[in-house]
Amino acid sequence: MAVEEEITTSYILNHRRSRCWASGLEEHGTEAITVAGPKDIKKAARSRFGKACDSGVWKRLTSVVLEPANPFDPTAPLRFRREVVVVGSMVLSFLVLALYFNFATTTTR
Protein backbone atom coordinates (compact mmCIF):
# COMPACT_ATOMS: atom_id res chain seq x y z
CA MET A 1 0.00 0.00 0.00
CA ALA A 2 1.44 3.37 -1.04
CA VAL A 3 1.82 6.17 1.44
CA GLU A 4 -0.40 9.06 0.42
CA GLU A 5 1.12 12.50 0.54
CA GLU A 6 -0.76 15.24 2.36
CA ILE A 7 -2.42 17.63 -0.06
CA THR A 8 -1.05 21.08 0.60
CA THR A 9 -0.59 24.17 -1.52
CA SER A 10 3.00 23.23 -2.27
CA TYR A 11 1.90 19.75 -3.37
CA ILE A 12 -0.68 21.21 -5.75
CA LEU A 13 1.80 23.75 -7.15
CA ASN A 14 4.44 21.07 -7.71
CA HIS A 15 2.35 18.18 -9.03
CA ARG A 16 -0.78 19.48 -10.71
CA ARG A 17 0.33 21.98 -13.27
CA SER A 18 -1.79 22.85 -16.26
CA ARG A 19 -0.69 21.55 -19.67
CA CYS A 20 -0.54 25.02 -21.16
CA TRP A 21 2.15 26.18 -18.75
CA ALA A 22 5.67 26.23 -20.03
CA SER A 23 7.82 23.41 -18.72
CA GLY A 24 10.68 25.77 -17.88
CA LEU A 25 8.88 27.63 -15.13
CA GLU A 26 10.83 28.32 -12.02
CA GLU A 27 9.92 26.28 -9.01
CA HIS A 28 8.10 27.96 -6.19
CA GLY A 29 9.85 28.16 -2.88
CA THR A 30 8.62 26.50 0.23
CA GLU A 31 7.03 29.69 1.58
CA ALA A 32 4.07 28.94 3.73
CA ILE A 33 0.78 30.38 2.54
CA THR A 34 -1.07 31.59 5.58
CA VAL A 35 -4.81 31.41 5.78
CA ALA A 36 -6.70 33.71 8.12
CA GLY A 37 -9.13 32.01 10.43
CA PRO A 38 -12.45 33.38 11.66
CA LYS A 39 -10.90 34.67 14.89
CA ASP A 40 -8.23 36.56 12.95
CA ILE A 41 -10.85 38.11 10.66
CA LYS A 42 -13.02 39.18 13.60
CA LYS A 43 -10.02 40.68 15.38
CA ALA A 44 -8.96 42.60 12.25
CA ALA A 45 -12.51 43.87 11.66
CA ARG A 46 -12.87 44.91 15.31
CA SER A 47 -9.61 46.87 15.20
CA ARG A 48 -10.55 48.48 11.85
CA PHE A 49 -14.00 49.56 13.00
CA GLY A 50 -12.57 50.67 16.33
CA LYS A 51 -10.44 53.24 14.48
CA ALA A 52 -13.41 54.67 12.55
CA CYS A 53 -15.24 57.67 13.89
CA ASP A 54 -18.69 57.13 15.36
CA SER A 55 -20.87 59.30 13.14
CA GLY A 56 -24.23 58.02 14.27
CA VAL A 57 -27.41 57.07 12.48
CA TRP A 58 -28.66 60.62 11.92
CA LYS A 59 -25.45 61.65 10.17
CA ARG A 60 -25.58 58.59 7.90
CA LEU A 61 -29.23 59.21 6.96
CA THR A 62 -28.60 62.86 6.16
CA SER A 63 -25.63 61.93 3.98
CA VAL A 64 -27.94 59.71 1.90
CA VAL A 65 -30.85 62.18 1.68
CA LEU A 66 -29.07 65.55 1.49
CA GLU A 67 -26.43 66.96 -0.85
CA PRO A 68 -22.94 67.35 0.60
CA ALA A 69 -22.22 70.62 2.36
CA ASN A 70 -20.70 73.47 0.38
CA PRO A 71 -17.06 73.76 1.47
CA PHE A 72 -16.89 77.41 0.35
CA ASP A 73 -20.04 78.51 2.17
CA PRO A 74 -20.67 76.45 5.31
CA THR A 75 -23.71 78.54 6.25
CA ALA A 76 -25.57 77.63 3.05
CA PRO A 77 -28.58 75.36 3.64
CA LEU A 78 -28.33 71.76 2.52
CA ARG A 79 -30.54 70.73 -0.39
CA PHE A 80 -32.23 67.39 -1.05
CA ARG A 81 -30.63 65.08 -3.59
CA ARG A 82 -32.39 64.79 -6.94
CA GLU A 83 -33.02 61.09 -6.45
CA VAL A 84 -34.77 61.75 -3.14
CA VAL A 85 -36.97 64.44 -4.71
CA VAL A 86 -37.96 62.19 -7.64
CA VAL A 87 -38.68 59.12 -5.53
CA GLY A 88 -40.48 61.20 -2.91
CA SER A 89 -42.73 62.83 -5.51
CA MET A 90 -43.55 59.43 -7.01
CA VAL A 91 -44.45 57.97 -3.60
CA LEU A 92 -46.51 61.04 -2.70
CA SER A 93 -48.42 60.96 -6.00
CA PHE A 94 -49.09 57.22 -5.54
CA LEU A 95 -50.48 57.84 -2.06
CA VAL A 96 -52.64 60.75 -3.23
CA LEU A 97 -54.05 58.72 -6.11
CA ALA A 98 -54.70 55.72 -3.86
CA LEU A 99 -56.55 57.89 -1.35
CA TYR A 100 -58.51 59.65 -4.09
CA PHE A 101 -59.73 56.45 -5.73
CA ASN A 102 -60.41 54.64 -2.46
CA PHE A 103 -62.27 57.39 -0.61
CA ALA A 104 -63.94 59.25 -3.46
CA THR A 105 -67.70 59.04 -3.32
CA THR A 106 -69.32 57.89 -6.49
CA THR A 107 -72.73 59.35 -7.24
CA THR A 108 -73.33 57.39 -10.42
CA ARG A 109 -75.90 54.69 -10.02
Per residue in 59-94, pLDDT (tens digit) is 888 888 999 888 899 899 999 999 999 999 999 999
Q: Which domain holds residue 60?
A: 36-103
Residue 64 lies in a domain: yes
Q: Is residue 3 part of a domain?
A: no
The alpha carbons of the chain give a radius of gyration, in whole angstroms, of 31
Q: Is residue 82 part of a domain?
A: yes
Average pLDDT (8-20) is 66
9 in a structural domain: no
pLDDT at 33: 73
Whole-angstrom distance, CA of residue 65 vs CA of residue 78: 10
Whole-structure pTM value? 0.43
| pLDDT confidence band for 11 (50 / 70 / 90) | confident
**pLDDT for position 30:** 59
Number of domains in the chain: 1
Please indicate, yes or no, if residue 10 is contained in any of the structural domains: no
- What is the per-residue pLDDT for 82? 94
* 10-30: average pLDDT: 60
Nearest to 84 by CA among 107, 62, 56, 109: 62
Q: Is residue 8 part of a domain?
A: no
Does residue 53 belong to any structural domain of this protein? yes
pLDDT, residue 97, reads 93
Please indicate, yes or no, if residue 108 is contained in any of the structural domains. Answer: no
C-alpha angle with apex 30: 28 to 36, nearest 5 degrees?
Answer: 105
Q: What is the pLDDT of residues 25-38, one digit of tens each?
A: 555 665 677 788 88
CA–CA dist 6, 9 (Å, integer):
10
